[in-house]
Each structure stands twice: as C-alpha cells, then as structure tokens.
C-alpha cells in the first residue's frame, strides 16, 4: 500500500521501498517496523528502528504490520558447531594473518596491530566515519541515528 494512503504516526510499516516500484529495502529483518512521522509535498518521513528519520517518496509502498520472529535476537547459539551447520566459517583475527591478508598482520611474535582497528580492506572499524560525504541519499536523511559510540547516548 502506498505511504500516501497510510495514517500518520502509525507504527506498523515494514518492508518499505526507498524508490517507487523497486521493492522493499527498509525494515525487512525480524521484529522490525517503521513509524510514519509526517507527509509533505510528495515526501513521507519515516522513523526507522535505528532512530534515523529519513524521507522517502510518498508513492513508495509499505506493508502494514510488523515482521514476525521478533525473538530471533535472543537465540543463544551455544557452540561453534551450530554456526557451522548454517555454513558460517570461523572468524580469524587480523593479527593472526600475514601482512598481505590483513593490515594488522605480520610482525615478529605477537603484536597489537600497531594501528587503529580496521577491516581487511583498511576501512576504520571502530567509530570512524565510513559513509561517503557526497552520497546522493544523504539529502534524504533528516536526522541521523544516535549511537553510544559517538557520545550521543549515555550508558546507564
């Protein structure tokens, strides 16, 4: 159903499109739903589960309801073998690799890595900004999500 037809402040949108006719891109995982905050001149404002407020065209379609299986995040795997049944391979630390496999690899003996934590491709892994500054979708974000890591939220 197009966002144009839905009631404002209704917390029941899941599987929301970002561009009309392209298919659902937002709120597709277990237990997720978005809130339609407002509508204005062909745009709809959605509050996503992360807290980000984003605008999408009001012709975009959304499913009314909430995705099921909301207890999915509380499942305890228990042992490595259960993840192996799903086809997940073991997670190898970057410091245990060779220099051509990971930026933290190599060195004589055990080392701490010698630099800030990064991914295998060299992107910052802990709190660094990795989103492109001139990405076209940046103009659609009204309020960014808040995170504890960036000091916007306080731990209790």
> Domain locations in the chain?
3-70+136-143
Q: Which CATH architecture has domain 3-70+136-143?
A: Roll (2.30)
User: Is residue 128 scored above 80 in pLDDT?
Assistant: no
pLDDT above 90: residue 156: no
Predicted pLDDT of residue 129 = 78
Neighbours of 94 (CB within 10 A): 16
* pTM, two decimal places: 0.75
What's the chain's Rg over C-alpha atoms? 21
Q: Count how many residues are written for the chain.
A: 156
Please determine, for residue 102, whether its predicted confidence score (pLDDT) is greater than 70: yes
CA distances from 148 to 15, 49, 151, 153, 154 (A): 27, 15, 5, 5, 6
Maximum separation of any 2 CA atoms in the chain, in Å: 64
pLDDT score of 10:
78
């Amino acid at each position: 159903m197009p966002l144009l037809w839905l009631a404002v402040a209704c917390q029941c949108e899941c599987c929301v499109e970002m561009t009309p006719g392209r298919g659902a891109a937002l709120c597709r995982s277990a237990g997720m739903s978005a809130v339609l905050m407002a509508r204005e001149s062909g745009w709809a404002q959605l509050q996503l589960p992360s807290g980000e407020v984003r605008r999408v065209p009001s012709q975009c379609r959304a499913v009314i309801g909430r995705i099921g299986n909301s207890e999915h995040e509380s499942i305890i795997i228990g042992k490595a073998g259960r993840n192996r049944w799903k086809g997940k391979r073991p997670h190898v630390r970057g410091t245990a690799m060779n220099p051509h496999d990971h930026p933290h690899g190599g060195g004589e003996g055990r080392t701490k890595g010698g630099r800030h934590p990064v991914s295998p491709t060299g992107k910052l892994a802990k709190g660094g900004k990795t989103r492109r500054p001139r990405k076209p979708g940046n103009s659609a974000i009204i309020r960014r999500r808040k995170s504890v890591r960036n000091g916007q939220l306080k731990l209790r």
